[in-house]
Amino acid sequence: MGYGVGEWIIDGAHGEGGGQLVRLAAALAALTQRVTRIVNIRARRAKPGLAAQHLAALRAVAALCGGTLTGAELGAREVHFRPGPIRAGRYRFEVGTAGSVTLVLQALLPVALQAEGPCRVTLTGGTDVARAPPMDYLRVVLLPWLAQMGAEVHIVALHRGYYPRGGGELTLDIVPCRTLRPLLVESAGALRRITGHAHVAHLPRHIAERMAAAASNALVDLAPVETTVAVLDDAAATGMGGALTLVAETNHARLGAAVVAQRGVPAERLGAEAAQALRQDLASGAALDVHAADQLLIYAALAAGDSLFSVRALSSHAETAMWLIAQCLPVRFAVEAQAGRQLVRVHHVR
């Protein structure tokens, strides 16, 4: 099958085989206008098939491009997607319950950047939930990387939402950027500062303070952590929850680590876990943290030239993403092991 021709059939059980594969496949289908069938969706999961947030991501991408979805329902293990032209405009998508809005954004944002005009996207659901990037990680880590590549995306957290109720709401204003700059950052360089963003909602302030203090104590030998702590009320959040996001700014890069407050898990343990993840990334000299590398692969593949970046280790999500992207876009990935890190090259095939 040639690039952009015929029906693209994706095995949803390949590699990591989770929701990320479904989201990325939908985005790639919309970007290339390629009729796509995804089969064996989340086949090896305890609850196979589409969950609410996967379904929301598919519907969001389909709405952005006026596409048609067949078989897209909760629990579905096969979906057929026929995309149409990507359209600017105002959109609102409800994930439902506490499904992660940041995961839905992983699917729709690369598509919206290729629209002919600005998009305003409002999403409701969970803003800070387990097994997904918290909202602050998106705001202070991922979007600044995209800005470096030329993308202009403004985010406003209108309301926070947590497991199990959800009820959060984010709005993004997305300026089209059809020609992204390559991502060229081989090493992080010297550490300049570390900042922390901790918050809780309908919980005692000391929980956020303890998360932040534990992280600060674990990183004090590297740099003093400049931390902000917020306590959110009914006007700013639905339900009980919280999160901590750490950002290390270096001469050439920014690396993030984040944790979400969990019932029964001490705040000190959460803060220490975030600090340990950040410390490992900094010690490797890598330019991107593991989670940023996962999410930036699609943008590097869409950029106007070859990209080069380093990461401490490639996750199974990243490996699956590279496999999928290389099938759909004219790019090839090469990974070279260096001392304590991986160097990733994204080469455009011409």
φ, ψ of residue 115 to 5 degrees: the values are: -70, 165
* Active-site residue flag, 291: no
Of 54, 252, 317, 347, catalytic = 317
Q: Render the burial of 73-111: b for 16+ CB within 10 Å, e for the rest.
A: eeebbebbbbbeebeeeebebbbbbbbbbbbbbbbbbbb
Cβ-contact 74, 141 below 8 angstroms: no
Tokens of 235: 């006007």
What's 43-72 look like in SS3?
Answer: CCCCCCCCCHHHHHHHHHHHHHCCCEEECC
Query: What dihedral angle (degrees, nearest 10) is formed by the CA atoms of 159, 161, 165, 169?
Result: 50
φ, ψ of residue 102 to 5 degrees: the values are: -70, -30
Cβ-contact 208, 147 below 8 angstroms: no
Tell me which residues are annotated as active site.
317
